[in-house]
Every structure is written in C-alpha cells, then in structure tokens.
Structure 1
Amino acid sequence: MPSVYGARLTTFEDSEKESEYGYVRKVSGPVVVADGMAGAAMYELVRVGHDNLIGEIIRLEGHSATIQVYEETAGLMVNDPVLRTHKPLSVELGPGILGNIFDGIQRPLKTIARISGDVYIPRGVSVPALDKDTLWEFQPKKIGEGDLVTGGDLYATVYENTLMQHHVALPPDAMGKVTYIAPSGQYSLKDTVLELEFQGVKKQFTMLQTWPVRTPRPVASKLAADTPLLTGQPQFLVGLVPYLVHLAVGRLSSVKLFPSILTPILLCMWAVEKEEMKWQRCSWIFHN
C-alpha cells in the first residue's frame, strides 16, 4: 500500500505511460541519481521510490538526473522507480494560506498531524496545501460584465480573519473581458468566481492560483521601503529583517514584513544562552 494520505491515493499505477518512469541508480543522503530520465526538465517535480517521496531535479546530464529529495531517503534501493510529473515545484496561493502552518514545501502540518495521528510527517504524504472545501465570504469589487481586466487587477476581497482582508487578484498571465463574476456569497476554492473572454476564448478562474516557486511573480514596479518600524531598530516595513535561529539550523534566516491598513507586527526578543534559543518577550504592536 502507498503511504500517502488524502482524499485520493496517488500510486504509480496512475501513470499511463511507462516512459514516465526512470529508475534509481545511486542514493547519497538526500541526493538521488536516476537514469532513464530523457526529456526531463531542470527543477521538475518527481516522485521517488515506492513511497512517492517528493524530489526536484537539480542537474541533468544525458539520460541521468540528479534529484534533491525533500524527505527521508532511508529504504530507497537501486532500481526503485522515479515518476516524472512534467510540472515544476509549485505552491498554492489563495484564501486559507494565513493561519496555517506549512513546512518548506508547503505541506500543511496541522492537517497531516490530524490525518496521520502522529507528530511526525509520514514519508510520501500527499495532502493539498489549502483546504478546497472551506467556504469563504466572497465580496466582488466594482467590476461588472463587459469590463476589461488584466493580470494583477484586484477583482474581489475575502475576509480571511479578523486582521487580514485578502485581496483576490487576477493571475499575471490572464487578461480579457469579464463575462461573469460571482455575486457576493460563500464560495470554496473549487468554485468558479470569474470568467473572462479573450480573442473568442473563455476561461474560468477560481480564488486559487498555483505558482512555480522558482518563478518570480511579475510586478509593475517595486516600491522603496520608506516607513520605519516603531521599535527603534533600523528596519523598514516591506523589508527583509535578518534574525538568528538555533545553532542546529546553522544559517541566518529572514522574515519580510508587509504593511496593510492595520499591520500586525510580531516582535520577538530573544537571547542565545548555552546554544539554546530563549524566548524573552513576545508582543503585538499594531501600526496604522
């Protein structure tokens, strides 16, 4: 049985073509070398082994591919299958992303813990990043049928929580004339809330967008950071703030602060004592 959870189990039998598979030739820690990967692309998402471990192609040489596996590789053997997905490693963007806890490849940790009944992440677990069944209060903006819109335009708002008003934007590569926009009401991420027509072709949109993690989101312009934090520290809103993490992590991390009409800034003061992070004080500062 595949060790995969979710509404639908993903198995290797789901692939119709044998050509979609390579096979493991070498395993060295989290790095796997696979043969039979002709036609694969750089940074393509793959599933490694019978447990469908998540991996990403980081090097191509002939018919061989070097794969970075983002899960424990213990138990992988030579000649284990490697399934190509023909898709890049991507994230889901939409209502529900706030208030959730994800790991580095956007697996929802609370959902996995509830389904698996364990505090540890099972190998090969496959759970949607965002809940597709939750209903969100959808409020369209002043856009009606016949209006022209293009990528990045905001066409609706969703109240994700008491602090954050989530603006729903058109995907960067979309444009056209509005032929339908959903009225105010409750909708899930599977429901069509917008339809556009461009050059005689109609396309439907939901509140969910899937975006490759290695592709920068296009912007019209980049605004300079000119609003300081009210903390006395030399940091700005919409700026990167470096902070220390536990020595076991062994790197310097950063967090980006985003402004809004009411910006909650979580300030955490800590000190390093005997190679352990000691939290000293956490406080919310609301900044208009």
Structure 2
Amino acid sequence: MAGALQNAKRQLIKISDEDRESRFGQVFGVSGPVVVAENMIGAAMYELVYEETSGVTVGDPVLRTGKPLSVELGPGLMGNIVDGIQRPLRSIQELSKSIYIPRGINTDALDRSLQWDFKPASFSVGDHISGGDIFGSVYENSLVDNHKVMLPPRALGTITHIAEKGSYAVDDIVLETEFEGKTTKHTMMQLWPVRAPRPVKEKQTADHPLLTGQRILDALFPCVQGGTTAIPGAFGCGKTVISQALSKFSNSDIIVYVGCGERGNEMAEVLMEFPELTMEVGDREEPIMKRTTLVANTSNMPVAAREASIYTGITLSEYFRDQGTNVAMMADSTSRWAEALREISGRLAEMPADSGYPAYLGTKLASFYERAGKVVCLGNPQRQGTVSIVGAVSPPGGDFSDPVTSATLGIVQVFWGLDKKLAQRKHFPSVNWSVSYSKYTKILEPYYETTEPGFVELRTKVKEILQKEEDLAEIVQLVGKSALGENDKITLEVAHFAPSTRPSDMTFNKIKDSASDLMFKLSQMKFESPSQGKDNVKQKLDDLHSEIQDKFRQLAE
C-alpha cells in the first residue's frame, strides 16, 4: 500500500515546474464536503468543491477555475439528463461503462459533435444588435422546432459577420460583433452563472392558469403560468406522482424536472416512464422527453452538487423563458436541498437556527422562488415568457410546522397540502381541501368568466359543501349518521361526489334543457290525488324516480 502511494505521489504534477506557484493554494483541512485551503489570494464567495472530497489530504494543491459554477445553454438540452453541475449522465455512462460517475470526469454538457441547421434572422452586416436579440433559430426536434439563438444578455455591438444558413456545431462561430474597437465572437451556446438571475425587461402579472390535468387542483386551487406552488406531504402521500403528472400533462411548452436529493429509484422510475409517454400534437403523437430536461441529483451524490442542482434547473428554465416560452420547473424535493444547506452551514461552524438550519434559509428559498414569474424578455422581437416553479417539500412525519415548510409557505402563492390519512385510504391525489389554498383565484376570475361563465359561483358552492361536510363528519363520528337531519344527510352524500369525480359541465342549465319534460312532471306531482289509491300513487312516483335516474345516467355518460 505504501509503495502504491509513493508511486501515485511521484506521478503528480510538480507545481513549480509546470506553473507559477502563486496561482495555487494548498489544502489546509477537510471536513466532510467542506475543504479549507490557504494561500488562495483573490478567492470569492461561492467558489465551491462540487466533487466528493474523500481522499483529499492536507497539502494537496488547489487551483481556482476563476469563475463561478456556470451552465452551457444552447441547442441539445431537450431530452438530455444531467447531474447537479450539468455533466451529461448518458455520455458519462457511455465513456465509463459504469453505473457510477467516476471521480474527476468532466465532459461537455452540450455535444460538440452534433450539427444543427442554423437559420439566420433578418440581421445583416452593419446592423446594431444588443443583448437578448434573436439572430437565428435552430430545429432541435419536432416539439421544439424553433429553438431561438439569442445574443447573451450583456453583449452588444455592430454586426461584422453573421453565418449563412447551414449546419454548425454549438461551438462554431455564427456571429461577430464590434463595440468600441473590440471584436467579439459568438457561438450558438451561452455560458451563464447559475446563481445569477438572467435579466429581463420587466415583470408582469400572470393571468393564465397552469393546467395540471388534476381536476381538484385546476378547479379549487389553481396556479398560474409564472406562479409558485408548494406541495408538502409525508412519505407516501404522492408528491412525486403529482410532480410527474405535471411534467406529463401540463399546458407548458418546456419541462425542467429537478430530482434534488431524492431516492435513486424515483429518478430511475422517471427515466423509465418518460421515454414511453407520448402527447398528442395535432394529428400525431410525440414523446414528452422531446420537451423535457432532467436534472438528476440523487441522495448519494455529493452534498455541494445537491445544493447547486436547484440553481442549475432554474437557470435552464430562465434560458427557455427568454425565448418566449412557458416553462414549468419541478423541484423534488426542496427539503433535501435545505438539508444540504444545513450540512454545509454546520461544517462552516455558522450559527444554527431552528432545527439546525442556517439563519438565512428563508432568504435562500425566497431568492430561488422569486426567479419565477411572467416577464417581458430582453431584446427584439418583443416576446413574453413564464417560469412556473412547483416545489415538493418533505417535512419529517408530515409536520407542516417544519422550518422548511414554514419558510416555503411564507413565499409561495399556492399550497397543495397532502394528507397522510387520505393517502392511507387510497384517495389520490391526497389533497386536503380544508388546508390547501390558492392566492391566484381573484387574478384568474376574468379568465374563468370568459371561458366558462358561472364557474366561480359553482366553485364557491363546492367549497361550501366540502366545508359543511367536514363539520358534519365530526358529528357523525360522535353520534352516528342517523342523528343527522335529512338535509345534512344529503349534504354528506353530495360531498362524496364533489371533490373531483363529477364533471363541471353538469350544470343546472344543461339539466333544464335536456330534461324539460321531467321538470314538468315534477311540477305536476303535487296534483296526484290520494283518491287514486296509495299503491297507484306510489307506483307513479317510483316510475318518475326511475326516469330521473335514467336521465342523469345518460347525462353523466
């Protein structure tokens, strides 16, 4: 063992022979994911070690990359799966032939060997161009058929060269600009630091619903495109299932799914299911992976990379938002991200707050959720884009007073609370309608009045019935259903159908139009004379009851 160690040390680069020693620091100490180094002149905040630190020893050389963690943005992101620091897992598996990520491996996030059909926009040599302007487009796949190529937000100048229509790799130069005598070359790819929000022209109020495909969520607790939602719930309540359902069925153009610190089998399930799922586009079916990017950072990956994966996902979302699309980002789960913050904070000997989490937990969560919203994008042509964030929260034992849950609920506008008791009764989605809420209902009222007049009144009535049913349920548990009045018994029966199983189109107007003859018979029922005999009258009423049941059965079908 000692001989192998000496051989390994002899093969290390001699720093003084290869480079100026002043550029390198030295490891002073290692404490879990935190590495303390000395002689690091010019080091800045958030210069982190994203690899596993086991095996790093005191005295090892440390070289700064000179830039914060940045991601590559460009054609080739759709259908890809990366880890928390944007290393493509499929490419790594093909290179290493292993189910694990080898230490120290570093591959390009965007494949440099692929050629993309670039179509220049209406710009020509001599035109002025500024950050966010679209100077070309790329056909990525049949769902993302117009991937816009934009100038980086902080760039500007006069065009001196623009590529002609043709096939180019993401690192080929397609645009050259000149500003104040300095020429800058641009490719189809951008680099952007993950912790810095991408700039926008202005933020707007979101006013269009984010449809999930789950009727209880869309009807009672709606979210908007550009909104923020939290899904707290205990283990087994269906948080991941709701997140995956959003990815599969929502009305978003782009899906970014971040598996942050969750179990590996859950991400494996996503990877197995998503390629098989399809969506209808016009008259054809397309795999939903064509509009999806997966960021997989499971619980056995390094803690620092888990902390960074949330920022990687939101930066990818902002890039597609800047193209004028509606993006939905699923973060599953922000509790694991907060636990990574807690571990790093503890290693740094920072003052702990509630349950050991750092005192700045709320600030970190707010800075993440505030990157959602509906915006007017930078550059020309003018366009609007949205980023919707749906964050799953995993409080221990389903305790909603957990610090992460409490801090999250103070930030987000929609709360879909999952109930362990409903999940145990196999009631899915296990949304507890008595604790869940949405602050977007007023904003969406004009939309509902335009698309379905009367919907708001029906929703209010449904909530009243459900609230009354909850009050009656307590009485039933104490004294039994037989102690209730007839009206209360009817309310209980109606409430069993109200949550999600009864379509909203069965309105009174529809019943009146299709069953006018029955309405007339009901009005004539009071004129039945007892002189006809009890059995005769009872038979007529039984026949009328059967007709009513048959009519409602036809309406339901």
State TM-score, norm by structure 1.
0.72
Partners in 2 of 1:206 and 1:117 — Cα distance?
31
Identity of aligned residues (%): 49
Q: 1:77 and 1:155, CA in 2 relative to 1: closer, same or farther beyond 3 A? A: same
Is 1:22 the counterpart of 2:10? The answer is: no
Alignment partner for residue 74 of structure 1, among 50, 54, 63? 54
Q: 1:142 and 1:171, CA in 2 relative to 1: closer, same or farther beyond 3 A? A: same
Q: 1:167 and 1:80, CA in 2 relative to 1: closer, same or farther beyond 3 A? A: same
Is 1:193 the counterpart of 2:174? The answer is: yes
Is 1:33 the counterpart of 2:36? The answer is: yes
Q: Is contact 2:157-2:177 (8 Å) kept?
A: yes
Aligned to 1:5: none
- After TM superposition, give the deviation of residue 37 of structure 1 in Å: 1.2
State TM-score, norm by structure 2.
0.39
Q: Is contact 1:265-1:284 (8 Å) kept?
A: no
Alignment partner for residue 126 of structure 2, among 122, 128, 146? 146
Range 80-89 or range 150-159, more displaced? 80-89
Q: 1:265 and 1:108, CA in 2 relative to 1: closer, same or farther beyond 3 A? A: closer
- After TM superposition, give the deviation of residue 243 of structure 1 in Å: 4.7
Q: Is contact 2:210-2:252 (8 Å) kept?
A: no
Partners in 2 of 1:177 and 1:143 — Cα distance?
10
Aligned to 1:157: 137
Describe how 1:1-288 pairs up with structure 2 within 5 A: 16-44=19-47, 56=48, 69-164=49-144, 165-230=146-211, 231=213, 232=215, 233=218, 234-243=222-231, 263-264=252-253, 284=279
- After TM superposition, give the deviation of residue 113 of structure 1 in Å: 0.7
Partners in 2 of 1:216 and 1:97 — Cα distance?
19
Q: Is contact 1:264-1:284 (8 Å) kept?
A: no
- After TM superposition, give the deviation of residue 155 of structure 1 in Å: 0.9
Partners in 1 of 2:14 and 2:155 — Cα distance?
34
Extract unaligned runs of 5+ from structure 1.
1-10, 45-55, 57-68, 269-275
Q: 1:162 and 1:241, CA in 2 relative to 1: closer, same or farther beyond 3 A? A: farther
Q: 1:245 and 1:103, CA in 2 relative to 1: closer, same or farther beyond 3 A? A: farther
Range 234-243 or range 82-91, more displaced? 234-243
Partners in 2 of 1:97 and 1:15 — Cα distance?
37
Partners in 1 of 2:81 and 2:152 — Cα distance?
24
Q: Is contact 1:189-1:207 (8 Å) kept?
A: yes
Aligned to 1:3: none
Q: 1:25 and 1:200, CA in 2 relative to 1: closer, same or farther beyond 3 A? A: closer
Extract unaligned runs of 5+ from structure 2.
1-12, 258-264, 283-325, 327-557
Partners in 1 of 2:173 and 2:192 — Cα distance?
18
Partners in 2 of 1:12 and 1:89 — Cα distance?
27
SS at match of 2:95: helix
Bigger fraction of residues in strand:
1
Q: Is contact 2:87-2:109 (8 Å) kept?
A: yes
- After TM superposition, give the deviation of residue 224 of structure 1 in Å: 2.8
- After TM superposition, give the deviation of residue 175 of structure 1 in Å: 1.1
Q: Is contact 1:108-1:129 (8 Å) kept?
A: yes
- After TM superposition, give the deviation of residue 229 of structure 1 in Å: 2.8
Superposed CA offset, 1:263-282 (max 9, x none) = 4577x9xxxxxxx9698997
Partners in 2 of 1:202 and 1:96 — Cα distance?
27
Cα RMSD after superposing both structures: 3.6
Bigger fraction of residues in helix:
2
Name the amino acid aligned to 1:95.
P
SS at match of 1:193: strand
Q: Is contact 2:33-2:53 (8 Å) kept?
A: yes
Partners in 1 of 2:89 and 2:174 — Cα distance?
28
Q: Is contact 1:263-1:286 (8 Å) kept?
A: no
Superposed CA offset, 1:37-86 (max 9, x none) = 12212223xxxxxxxxxxx1xxxxxxxxxxxx322222121112211121
SS at match of 2:204: coil
- After TM superposition, give the deviation of residue 215 of structure 1 in Å: 1.6
Partners in 1 of 2:225 and 2:107 — Cα distance?
33
Give 1 or 2 for the bigger CA radius of gyration: 2
- After TM superposition, give the deviation of residue 136 of structure 1 in Å: 0.4
Q: Is contact 1:133-1:190 (8 Å) kept?
A: no
Name the amino acid aligned to 1:185.
G
Q: 1:180 and 1:238, CA in 2 relative to 1: closer, same or farther beyond 3 A? A: same
Aligned to 2:485: none
Name the amino acid aligned to 1:120.
Y
Superposed CA offset, 1:77-125 (max 9, x none) = 1112211121111111111122111111111111111101101101111
Partners in 1 of 2:75 and 2:64 — Cα distance?
29
Partners in 1 of 2:280 and 2:29 — Cα distance?
51
Partners in 2 of 1:21 and 1:210 — Cα distance?
25
Superposed CA offset, 1:126-169 (max 9, x none) = 11111122100101111112221110111111111110121111
SS at match of 2:71: strand
- After TM superposition, give the deviation of residue 22 of structure 1 in Å: 1.4
Partners in 1 of 2:108 and 2:71 — Cα distance?
10
